[in-house]
């Protein structure tokens, strides 16, 4: 979890990287990672989130939540 931003992938909604992987593809600051299964969050990059909304828009099952902690 970042100091200012908390990005979360809801495991029960995400369809997985093999089937989708959109978040990994679109995030300009590499917050999502992984090759199979559910994407993992790279905590050290979380505060780099520019709130561009691309992951949210690209995630069809609405599995991503971005919380502002400030």
Distance of closest approach, residue 44 Cβ to ligand SF4, in angstroms:
13
Q: CA-CA distance, 16 to 36, in Å (whole number)?
A: 7
Which of 1, 8, 61, 67 is close enough to bind ligand SF4 by CB under 6 A? 61
Which of 1, 50, 67, 69 is close enough to bind ligand SF4 by CB under 6 A? 50
| Residue 22, number of CB atoms within 10 A of its CB | 19
Q: Give the helix ranges, DSSP H, for 22-67.
A: 22-26, 54-58
Positions touching ligand SF4 (CB under 6 A) are: 7, 9, 14-15, 17, 20-23, 26-29, 31, 39, 49-55, 58-59, 61, 63-64, 66
């Amino acid at each position: 979890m970042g100091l200012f931003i908390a990005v979360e992938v809801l495991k029960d909604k995400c369809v997985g990287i093999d089937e989708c992987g959109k978040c990994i593809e679109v995030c300009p600051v590499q917050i999502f990672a992984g090759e199979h299964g559910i994407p993992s969050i790279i905590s050290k990059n979380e505060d780099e989130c520019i709130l561009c909304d691309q992951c949210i828009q690209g995630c069809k099952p609405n599995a991503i939540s971005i919380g502002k902690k400030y």
